[in-house]
Amino acid sequence: MPRADPIAKFRTLRSGLRLAASLLAMVPIRDGASALDAPIYLGPKPPANVRRVVTLAPSLSETVIALGAADRLVGVSRFDEFPEVSKLPRVGGFLDPSVEAVLALKPDLVLVQPSPGNRQPVEKMAQLGTPILALRMQSVAEILGGVREVGRALGLSDRAESVAQSIERSRAAIRARSAGDKKVRVLFVYGLEPLVVAGPGSFADELMRDAGAVNAAQNVSSPYQTYSAESAIRSRPEVVIVAADDSSGAEKLSRLPGLNQARWVKLQSKDLLHPGPSLSRGLEELFDLIHSTSLQHPPGSR
């Protein structure tokens, strides 16, 4: 699980720190990643008929909406922008949910993305009698598992199964379209100043493989890796996909030898940035960007 490892250099330090923490706290520290990968329930068991749902991340709201249960949502995070939830009360962010605001909505179920950052408030909610379902939604497998788990919790398993299968179908279709083609070397850029690229283990990396591309940034240790201009040249991309909001720094980079031969394209939607059930749309866009033959100028130039 490369995702769970922050940085290779920290591995030794991490085990040492963990040992120290175990000794000091006199409790066995569980491996965070293995506990987080599978969906887990905290607090009391949710009722059989869940009517009031609070979500703490847009991807989780999207999942509920995809299951046709938007009317059960009673509160969402402050980052949610879907029209279906625009009128709902905000209960804070992914890392800073307000326990008080969540409790006041008297939810039957709270959907959260687990993280060390929101552990304390989420545990508090569970402790005070709010059923919690913690789901990681970072990889395709986690998204599929999450859709099915939310479906089970909301009594919409059939609907969830069809959503999951449609995702699988569109992945298979995209894979089939690119099968046999030569693999395109793609550098996926999240940010330009500093340069941050998608490494192995990122959602974009997974979808690039489906779309018949090979991630040019292979020798990096983190899913969101800070990258040097030298490494970018050395990675010899054929296509550079810029997902940064502000692409003003692209012009300078795109003139560098090695990078000026690549085709520079700008990502239009945010489906590739926020893992969720809309990944089929993101995959379509990615395929088009990679396999488009029309010549595109680097964003920001001329």
Partner 1 sequence: MMRMEHSSIEVPLRFTIRRAAALILGLAAVVVIAFAASARFGEQPISLSIALADPTSTDAAIFWSLRLPRAVLAIIIGAALAASGSALQGLMRNPLADPFVLGVSGGAALGATLAIAAGLGSAAQLAPEPLRAALARLSAPALFAFAGSIGATALVFAGGRVQGQSSPYALLLTGVIFNAFASAAITAVKALVNPEKLGEILYWLAGTLGYENAWTLALAALLQALAIGTMWMNAGKLNLLMLGDDDAASLGVSVGPTRLVLLLAASLSVAGAVALSGLIGFVGLIVPHVLRLWLGPDQRLLLPCSAFGGAAFLALSDLATRMLFSVFHTELPVGVVTALVGGPFFLLVLHRRRVGSLSPSWL
Which residues here bind partner 1, judged by CB under 8 A?
4, 6-7, 9-10, 13-14, 17-18, 21, 24-27, 29-30, 32-33, 35-36, 40, 42, 78, 90-93, 95-96, 98-101, 103-104, 106, 112, 114-124, 126-129, 134, 222-224, 226
**CB closer to partner 1, 121 vs 299:** 121
Task: Please give the single-letter amino acid code of residue 277.
Answer: P
Shortest distance, position 189 Cβ to partner 1, whole Å: 14
**CB closer to partner 1, 112 vs 211:** 112
Chain centroid to Cα 6, Å, comes to 16
**CB closer to partner 1, 115 vs 157:** 115
**CB closer to partner 1, 196 vs 253:** 196
Shortest distance, position 78 Cβ to partner 1, whole Å: 4
Shortest distance, position 260 Cβ to partner 1, whole Å: 28
270 DSSP β-pair partners: none
Angle at 191 between CA 187 and CA 197, to 5 degrees: 35
**CB closer to partner 1, 13 vs 141:** 13
Report DSSP state, residue 207. H
**CB closer to partner 1, 25 vs 179:** 25
Helix (H, G, I), strand (E, B) or coil at 263: strand
Shortest distance, position 141 Cβ to partner 1, whole Å: 19
**CB closer to partner 1, 156 vs 242:** 242
- Greatest CA separation for the chain: 62
Distance CA 86, CA 79 (A): 11
Shortest distance, position 8 Cβ to partner 1, whole Å: 10
Indicate the Cα dihedral angle 35, 37, 38, 42, nearest 10°. 50
Distance CA 277, CA 59 (A): 7
Return the number of other C-beta atoms located less than 10 Å from residue 251's C-beta: 16
Distance CA 64, CA 51 (A): 12
User: What separation in angstroms does the CA of 241 have from each of 191, 201, 247, 289?
Assistant: 11, 17, 11, 8
Distant-in-sequence, close-in-space partners of 245: CB < 8 Å, separation ≥ 6 = none
Shortest distance, position 202 Cβ to partner 1, whole Å: 10
Shortest distance, position 292 Cβ to partner 1, whole Å: 29
